[in-house]
Amino acid sequence: MRRLLRAIASPSLGHHQRRRLLSAFAADQPIRHHPPIDSAVPWNKLLRDHLAHSRPDLALALYRLMRALSPGLPNSYTLPLALRAAASTRIASAVHAHSLHLSLHAHPDVAGQILAAYARLGRAADARHVFDALPVKRTTLSWNTLITTYSIGCDPDAARAAFACMVAGGARPDAVTWTTLLSAHARCGRHPEVLELFRDMHDSGSGNAPLPEAEEIFRVLHDLYGEMEDEKHAMCDAIATIV
């Protein structure tokens, strides 16, 4: 079964070839080779198992088989699993389209994973579109995902603007927020702004005390600067005067 699923998942396989392979599999294989098609629960369990064992290609092949046998079977648990397995924008967009077709795109778990998939793939415009259409209150997690998108795309200005909107909207930045924001600026050589942001992070603690995460974030920055010894030492010395 694993070999067949890998064949189904092959990017080089044409649409019609894949459909024929899926149809042949569904018609010729004993029922024990795939779960029954009247419940999504066993399918979701298999999808989770493949992801837990780092087999996203098999998870996607199983998802394709699930949809081929019963297009309406995927539910709000299935789609986030398929999105976690998506390794390309094409696949993420396809699952996004499936969620729209099934009217599940507004489900918080589905919407969150659509946003996370586009963020992971560096699709800032798509991520922003999904973020703006989120049907639920924007949380620190969703803001962090958007800021991560801009960090991956090396767009510190957009990351900073998203951070400002996050704070204005009442969401509380956490260690992930600060680390991602600092990383976005450090990667682009915006060293004065890294120092400014670190100072803002430090001062945001109660009574101007350092945040509990400050030391960990300091280590992240130290590693991020890597072999840029002059910048690293200058930044470390400057940050040491703050903490």
What does each of the 243 residues of the chain score in pLDDT, given as a tens digit? 556 556 655 656 666 666 566 555 554 444 345 566 678 888 898 899 889 999 898 888 889 888 887 888 999 999 999 999 999 999 999 999 999 999 999 888 898 899 999 988 988 899 999 898 887 778 888 999 999 999 888 899 999 999 999 999 888 888 888 888 888 888 777 877 877 887 787 777 633 444 545 555 666 666 665 555 555 555 555 555 555
User: Which CATH number covers residue 34?
Assistant: 1.25.40
- Return the pLDDT at 94: 94
Residue 212 vs residues 92, 95, 125: alpha-carbon distances, Å:
36, 39, 34
Specify whether 130 is located in the same domain as 150: no
Radius of gyration of the chain (CA): 22
Residue written as tokens 């840029």?
A: 228
Q: What is the pTM of this model?
A: 0.68
Closest CA to 195 of 142, 152, 239, 148: 239
Q: Do 202 and 211 form a contact (C-beta atoms < 8 A)?
A: yes
Specify whether 96 is located in the same domain as 157: no
One-letter amino acid for residue 53 of the chain: H
Which among 136, 155, 188 is the end of a domain?
136
Q: How many structural domains compose the chain? A: 2
- Return the pLDDT at 197: 81
Specify whether 57 is located in the same domain as 176: no
Specify whether 3 is located in the same domain as 97: yes
Domain that holds residue 130: 1-136
